[in-house]
Chains A and B, each alone.
Chain A
Amino acid sequence: MNTAVADDILTQLRRPSSPVQNAAQEAFDNLTETVGTVTVDNPKMQTSNVNVFYAEKQAIFDVNLDIGNNEVIAMIGPSGCGKSTFLRCLNRMNDTIPTCRVTGNMSLDGEDLYGADLDPVLLRARVGMVFQKPNPFAKSIYDNVAYGPRIHGLASNRAELDDIVVDSLKKAGLYDEVKDRLDAPGTSLSGGQQQRLCIARSIAVSPEVILMDEPCSALDPIATARIEELINELRENYAIAIVTHSMQQAARVSQRTAYFHLGKLVEVNDTNAVFTNPQHELTENYITGRFG
């Protein structure tokens, strides 16, 4: 991530320049507890008091948030607000950044994510991730999807593997477009198809949760619509957390929305409530486009 740019944006946001923002700044400084309901009845993942530091710099402050079964939770907020960082804590992808330090409690089905006996490698098979930029491997379409099942030994023979691949491609809504050319390189697909291939790849290891980090930011509107449709369908079987810059997208695909601001979780509520009747000043300012 370009931290210089992020810092720049942060300082700009911090500089009170209008009465609206002055008031908002005050509200932010006084913010100790998230507005709205952070818990759900049927949680898949639970987090409490999460703090994340990059070296000396704190990126996330005391975040509490549950992710429910069969729901899509959208995380929105201005650049540098920590939503991606928070998302990457949920499958310990932040472990790959040497300076990153995470404190607090996070659990998947009650199992401590940062506990000593949890293997992050196995965790990531249960909590899949789709990235901002489509990142198919330099392999055929088939091998891209078969990669996960192969390393986890999910199929005992070729026929089973074929089934998993076809099934995942179908779930990702890509099968009809690529069924005749499963041997073609994954990179030969269009951007939207590549992203759906990456989703198929995540589905293939049968995760329980899928994390999506701005999955449509590199795609055109038509490809975006396909992915959003797909997210809706996937909700039946998975818990999904999606980070997005587009408030329209959050409104279209999610049931709950979490608004992050400068590393704090400001407000969490039903998506409808957040967009029609935001409780916190900052949330209101953001969704009405006063900044962000």
Chain B
Amino acid sequence: MSATHLLLITFGLAVASFLYGRMQAFSVAKSHGGVSAMHSLPSHYGMMVALWCALPALAVIIGWKLLEPMVVSNLLNTAIPQVVLDGGERAVELYKNDLSNLVNNDRIASIDNPEKLIAAERLASLRSTSSMALVVLALVIAVMSATFALKRIKPHFRARHTVERIIQFFLVSCASLAILTTLGIVLSVLFEAIRFFQQVGILEFITGTKWSPQTAIRADQVGSSGSFGAVPLFLGTLLISFIAMIVAVPFGLMSAIYLAEYASRPVRNIAKPLLEILAGIPTVVYGFFAALTVAPALRSLGGSLGLSVSSESALAAGAVMGIMIIPFVSSLSDDVITAVPQTMRDGSYGLGSTKSETIRKVVIPAALPGIVGGILLAVSRAIGETMIVVMAAGLAANMTANPLEAVTTVTVQIVTLLTGDQEFDSAKTLAAFALGLMLFIVTLCLNIIALRVVRKYREQYE
């Protein structure tokens, strides 16, 4: 019986014990003069019984499954031929892996080596014994603890408190899961980044101006010295994000002002969702829009002005990215502008100011912290954006501030470093993690600033 089946059975038992526990609570209540004589509601007692039934059994199943491989592997040692044991720990490990694969794939019959056959059969029998033992143990524990809980259904027993405490614990663990995941991601990136910094100096990485991550695979290979200066990548990221913000902030802000202050209700009801559709377009679609439409158009426009525009340019990628971010800026700004109290507008009108004066001098300053928060969130979105840049800005790590040239960004390099077959111990691959870490730190700082600004805004009116 597989673990999945066992879990399903435990769940079924829990449901049954809920129903039975509730029934039991009703009957206990009857003999004591009605449900009101009990401390908690019958469903609380049912829930308590169900939890008593499921939780210990679950704990046993999880603990068993964690320990099982270790115990089985130790017991298996007696059946392993001396020859293999003499070969050292790695050889034993390999042998056990082989056995495990054979057993997993039901290919014991095809083994022709008698010693191996014995070992494989031993493994199979150990496993089936263990699994049988687990089933029996788990079910016995489930039934026993449920019976124990059923006995505790008495009028004065505070089942609600027990149940609510367990549920609270469950909620806490759900909340921790998200935090732990973040922590796990940070740590996994961090450890790989540390491995990278053991090979390449941290100072060289942060201050180096040459990015050419080709390392030699063979000792005699020519021309792949590998240099890991991340400055051009971060400059490229900044350049493209800057261009994106130059496009997104004015357009987003102006459309937010129009939607919040001037647009009539029907116009707003149509225009706002339409604008938000922009956010729903997949970035890869923006990518080929940038690469196939905007970039050639910029190139021919530049040509007619006598400028040389490379076919993959920071300008094309940045401009399209800016368009992608417009709904971010406009939607968040629209929300904060709408949140500025009407009384403040009335105050301004009451002093004889016009609508545009009121918007420029009262509403926008009042909404400014919120708008800035929205813009900072949009910046971290721009920094993290990959697809458009891959397609429209190129891969060349040029160190330039000229938006008409090809540049590359941190995220793009991470993608190129990790695509395809890679050795996992070369500096080239590990560099991706160092870049990821740096990027994470930058966007984290931006997010913290943004959240603080937004919080400050909230305090102002509450």
Asked whether any CB of chain A lies closer than 8 Å to the CB of B346, the reply is yes
Q: A147-B361, A151-B361 are in contact. Are A135 and B347 (CB under 8 A)?
A: yes
Chain A residues bordering chain B, tally (CB within 8 A): 28
Q: What residues on A are CB-neighbors of B460 within 8 Å?
A: 138, 187
**A124 pairs with B350, CB closer than 8 A:** yes
CB < 8 Å neighbour of A147 from B341, B345, B346, B348: B348
**A121 pairs with B354, CB closer than 8 A:** yes
**B346 pairs with A96, CB closer than 8 A:** yes
Give chain A nearest CB distance to B164 CB in angstroms. Answer: 38
Complexed CA–CA distance, A130 and B368 (Å): 25
Residue-wise, chain A 130-148 has the 8 Å CB interface mask toward B (1 for contact) of 1101011111000000011
Within 343-373 of B, Cβ neighbours of A (below 8 Å) are at 343-354, 357, 361-362, 365-366, 368
Q: A137-B362, A137-B366 are in contact. Are A131 and B352 (CB under 8 A)?
A: no
**B350 pairs with A202, CB closer than 8 A:** yes
Complexed CA–CA distance, A126 and B357 (Å): 17
Asked whether any CB of chain B lies closer than 8 Å to the CB of A227, the reply is no
Q: What residues on B are CB-neighbors of A123 within 8 Å?
A: 352
Asked whether any CB of chain B lies closer than 8 Å to the CB of A91, the reply is yes
Q: A133-B343, A137-B365, A151-B361 are in contact. Are A93 and B349 (CB under 8 A)?
A: yes
Q: What residues on A are CB-neighbors of B346 within 8 Å?
A: 93, 96, 129, 131, 135
Residue-wise, chain A 113-132 has the 8 Å CB interface mask toward B (1 for contact) of 00000000111111011110
CB < 8 Å neighbour of B352 from A124, A137, A198: A124
**B350 pairs with A129, CB closer than 8 A:** yes
Q: What residues on B are CB-neighbors of A147 within 8 Å?
A: 348, 351, 353, 361-362
Residue-wise, chain B 419-441 has the 8 Å CB interface mask toward A (1 for contact) of 00000000000000000000000
Closest to A129 in B: B350
Give chain A nearest CB distance to B330 CB in angstroms. Answer: 21
Complexed CA–CA distance, A124 and B366 (Å): 22
Within 145-162 of A, Cβ neighbours of B (below 8 Å) are at 147-148, 151-152
Give chain A nearest CB distance to B348 CB in angstroms. Answer: 7
Complexed CA–CA distance, A78 and B343 (Å): 23
A-B contact count (CB 8 A): 70
Within 192-231 of A, Cβ neighbours of B (below 8 Å) are at 198, 201-202, 205
Q: What residues on A are CB-neighbors of B365 within 8 Å?
A: 137-139
**A151 pairs with B351, CB closer than 8 A:** yes
Q: What residues on B are CB-neighbors of A201 within 8 Å?
A: 347, 351
Q: What residues on A are CB-neighbors of B350 within 8 Å?
A: 91, 93, 124, 128-131, 202
Q: What residues on B are CB-neighbors of A202 within 8 Å?
A: 350-351
Closest to B365 in A: A138
Give chain B nearest CB distance to A234 CB in angstroms. Answer: 16
Closest to A91 in B: B350
Closest to A150 in B: B361
Complexed CA–CA distance, A201 and B353 (Å): 13
**A122 pairs with B347, CB closer than 8 A:** no
Complexed CA–CA distance, A201 and B349 (Å): 12
Complexed CA–CA distance, A136 and B349 (Å): 13
CB < 8 Å neighbour of A152 from B345, B348, B349, B352: B352
Complexed CA–CA distance, A286 and B291 (Å): 76
CB < 8 Å neighbour of B353 from A96, A121, A187: A121
Q: What residues on B are CB-neighbors of A152 within 8 Å?
A: 352
Give chain A nearest CB distance to B354 CB in angstroms. Answer: 5
Q: What residues on B are CB-neighbors of A198 within 8 Å?
A: 347
Q: What residues on B are CB-neighbors of A91 within 8 Å?
A: 350
Complexed CA–CA distance, A40 and B331 (Å): 54
Within 85-104 of A, Cβ neighbours of B (below 8 Å) are at 91, 93, 96
Closest to B346 in A: A131
**B352 pairs with A135, CB closer than 8 A:** no
Complexed CA–CA distance, A31 and B225 (Å): 100
Give chain A nearest CB distance to B372 CB in angstroms. Answer: 13
Q: What residues on B are CB-neighbors of A137 within 8 Å?
A: 344, 347-348, 362, 365-366
Give chain B nearest CB distance to A232 CB in angstroms. Answer: 22
Complexed CA–CA distance, A267 and B368 (Å): 48
Within 445-462 of B, Cβ neighbours of A (below 8 Å) are at 460
Closest to A92 in B: B349
Complexed CA–CA distance, A256 and B460 (Å): 39
Q: A137-B366, A187-B460 are in contact. Are A131 and B361 (CB under 8 A)?
A: no
Complexed CA–CA distance, A187 and B346 (Å): 16
Within 106-164 of B, Cβ neighbours of A (below 8 Å) are at none
Complexed CA–CA distance, A91 and B347 (Å): 12
Complexed CA–CA distance, A14 and B354 (Å): 40
Complexed CA–CA distance, A41 and B174 (Å): 76
Residue-wise, chain A 156-192 has the 8 Å CB interface mask toward B (1 for contact) of 0000000000000000000000000000000100000
Q: What residues on B are CB-neighbors of A122 within 8 Å?
A: 352
**B347 pairs with A148, CB closer than 8 A:** no
Q: What residues on A are CB-neighbors of B361 within 8 Å?
A: 147, 151
Give chain A nearest CB distance to B15 CB in angstroms. Answer: 47
Closest to A211 in B: B350
**B352 pairs with A121, CB closer than 8 A:** yes
Give chain A nearest CB distance to B361 CB in angstroms. Answer: 7
Complexed CA–CA distance, A254 and B304 (Å): 76
Name the residue in B341, B346, B351 with the highest tally of chain A Cβ atoms < 10 Å from its Cβ: B351
Complexed CA–CA distance, A15 and B348 (Å): 40
Q: What residues on A are CB-neighbors of B362 within 8 Å?
A: 137-138, 147
**A148 pairs with B351, CB closer than 8 A:** yes
Complexed CA–CA distance, A123 and B349 (Å): 10
Provide a sorted-by-A list of 17 A–B residue pairs whose CB atoms are within 8 angstroms.
A91-B350, A93-B346, A96-B345, A125-B351, A126-B352, A128-B350, A130-B350, A131-B343, A135-B343, A135-B346, A137-B344, A137-B347, A138-B362, A147-B348, A147-B353, A201-B351, A205-B352
New A-B pairs, 15, CB < 8 Å, besides A96-B345, A135-B344, A147-B348: A124-B351, A125-B351, A135-B346, A137-B344, A137-B347, A137-B348, A137-B362, A137-B366, A138-B365, A139-B365, A151-B351, A151-B361, A152-B352, A201-B347, A202-B351
Q: Which 6 A-B pairs have the closest CB atoms?
A: A125-B352, A129-B350, A138-B366, A135-B343, A124-B352, A148-B351
